[in-house]
């Protein structure tokens, strides 16, 4: 079974209007509300690919119920630890300029953290766990090191979708996949990456530190998979870019789902690219039909 861990999920409240006038009453043209959080996005895309999975993490209040209701509607099982405070709301204002106002999320008590740890400790070597996104403020991202460590002790594989020090801290646990983009990879090493050779070289340093596979996404310039056996480049696919939110999560879902199913790393990479690209060309997370359509256009070459 694949599990996704979202420690600080959200309702993503999207507001659209032509222009925001500070200090005045503004009337929106349209709005949407989505179940947000990187792990939850992974769960939703996995389900669209026909891959059963379970979403876990912390959830609370009426906002948390909104999220679990959506997951239930989409046929996704969940095993969240319920907390007293409300799950956060993140407001994304799409006007002449795009503005985000993100909530801090609930405080997590020691007891609730222990409940999640107990659940993760019950997994087995047949399981794969995707850890993604930020942590509630009072826990800090350092909590991931503990959670990933106890998960690995069960024999389960882990996928770690983090940035910066949190990503580096995860490498000692030999994650199945890490997926920084080219800018995040450069930030880790304090360099500006300007060529594919440079990107591959620094991705190999991530491999050397423990990762089993590294995917570097490069927005409209394609993606690079680096393994111990070689490096593989997925050519960019042209299309109308509508959405960057959830594209990386979709890539993680595509790779993880196919790799768990077949252990074929190239096919997993192709499905990852297809899912990420399809979401980029969609208003929300991509549909199964559109993902399959994009998959037929994915071209991967060894470099």
- What is d(CA 218, CA 20) in angstroms, rounded to the nearest whole number? 31
| Token pair in block for residue 30 | 């349209």
d(CA 232, CA 265): 10
3-state secondary structure of 235: coil
Q: Write the DSSP symbol of residue 30.
A: E
Tell me the mean pLDDT in the region 224-248: 92
- Inform me whether the pLDDT recorded for 244 exceeds 80: no
Q: Which helix (H) or strand (E) holds 223?
A: strand 223-226
Please, where are the H alpha helices in the chain? 38-48, 61-73, 110-121, 143-153, 164-170, 182-189, 196-208, 247-262, 265-280, 288-295
pLDDT of residue 8: 97
Asked if the domains 1-15+31-175 and 181-303 are classified in one and the same CATH topology, the answer is yes
Q: What are phi and psi of 287, to 5 degrees?
A: -80, 160
Angstrom distances, CA of residue 122 to CA of 64, 118, 131, 151, 155: 24, 7, 16, 9, 11
Task: CATH number for 181-303: choose from 2.40.10.330, 3.40.50.970, 3.40.50.300, 3.40.1190.20.
Answer: 3.40.1190.20
Residue 65 CB coordination number (10 Å): 14
35-81 pLDDT, tens digit per residue, is 999 999 999 999 999 999 999 999 999 999 999 999 999 999 999 99
Residue 98 pLDDT = 83
Q: How confident is the model over 113-139, as a mean pLDDT?
A: 96
Q: What is the pLDDT of residues 151-160, one digit of tens each?
A: 999 999 999 9
Active site residue 249: yes
Q: What is the pLDDT of residue 33?
A: 93
Average pLDDT over every residue of 233-255 = 92
CA dihedral 159, 164, 168, 169 (to 10 degrees): -80
Asked if 92 contacts 98 with a C-beta cutoff of 8 angstroms, the reply is: yes
Q: Report the CATH fold assignment for 1-15+31-175.
A: 3.40.1190
**Least trusted range by pLDDT, from 121-125, 130-134, 193-197, 198-202:** 193-197
Q: Are strands 98-102 and 88-94 parallel, antiparallel or unpaired?
A: antiparallel
Residues whose CB is less than 8 angstroms from the CB of residue 298 and which lie 6 or more positions away in sequence, other chains included: 234, 237, 270, 273, 274, 277
Given 18, 249, 264, 289, the catalytic residue:
249
The string of pLDDT tens digits covering residues 259-302 is 999 999 999 999 999 999 999 999 889 999 999 999 999 999 99
With pLDDT > 90 as the criterion, what percentage of the chain qualifies?
91
pLDDT value at position 97?
86
Is the pLDDT reported for residue 243 higher than 80? no
Name every residue whose Cβ is closer than 8 Å to that of residue 276 and which is 6 or more positions away in sequence.
217, 223, 247, 248, 250, 251, 254
Rounded Cα gap, residues 203 and 182, in angstroms: 9
Tokens read off for 38: 């990187």
Check whether 242 has a pLDDT greater than 90: no
How is residue 245 written in tokens?
Answer: 């939110």
In this predicted structure, what is the pLDDT of residue 196?
93
Domain boundaries, the chain: 1-15+31-175, 181-303
């Amino acid at each position: 079974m694949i599990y996704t861990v979202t420690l600080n999920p959200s309702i993503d409240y999207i507001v659209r209007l032509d222009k925001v006038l500070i200090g005045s009453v503004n009337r929106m043209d349209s709005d949407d509300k989505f179940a947000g959080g990187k792990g939850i996005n992974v769960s939703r895309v996995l389900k669209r690919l026909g891959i059963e999975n379970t979403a876990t993490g912390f959830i609370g209040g009426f906002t948390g119920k909104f999220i679990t209701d959506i997951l239930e509607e989409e046929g996704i099982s969940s095993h969240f630890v319920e907390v007293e405070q409300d799950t956060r709301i993140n407001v994304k204002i799409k006007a002449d300029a795009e503005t985000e106002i993100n909530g801090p999320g609930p405080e997590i008590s020691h007891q609730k953290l222990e409940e999640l740890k107990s659940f993760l400790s019950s997994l087995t070597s047949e399981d794969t766990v995707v850890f993604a996104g930020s942590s509630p403020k009072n826990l800090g991202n350092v909590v991931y090191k503990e959670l990933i460590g106890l998960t690995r002790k069960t024999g389960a594989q882990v996928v770690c979708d983090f940035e910066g020090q949190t990503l580096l801290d995860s490498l000692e646990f030999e994650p199945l996949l890490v997926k920084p983009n080219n800018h995040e990879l450069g930030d880790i090493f304090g360099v500006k990456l300007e060529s594919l050779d440079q990107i591959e070289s620094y991705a190999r340093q991530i491999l050397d530190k423990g990762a089993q596979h590294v995917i570097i996404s490069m927005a409209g310039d394609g993606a690079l998979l680096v393994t111990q056996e070689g490096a593989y480049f997925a050519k960019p696919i042209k299309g109308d870019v509508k959405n960057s939110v959830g594209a990386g999560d979709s890539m993680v879902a595509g790779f993880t789902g196919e790799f768990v199913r077949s252990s074929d790393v190239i096919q997993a990479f192709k499905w990852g690219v297809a899912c990420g690209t399809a979401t980029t060309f969609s208003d929300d997370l991509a549909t199964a039909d559109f993902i399959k359509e994009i998959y037929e256009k994915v071209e991967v070459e060894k470099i």
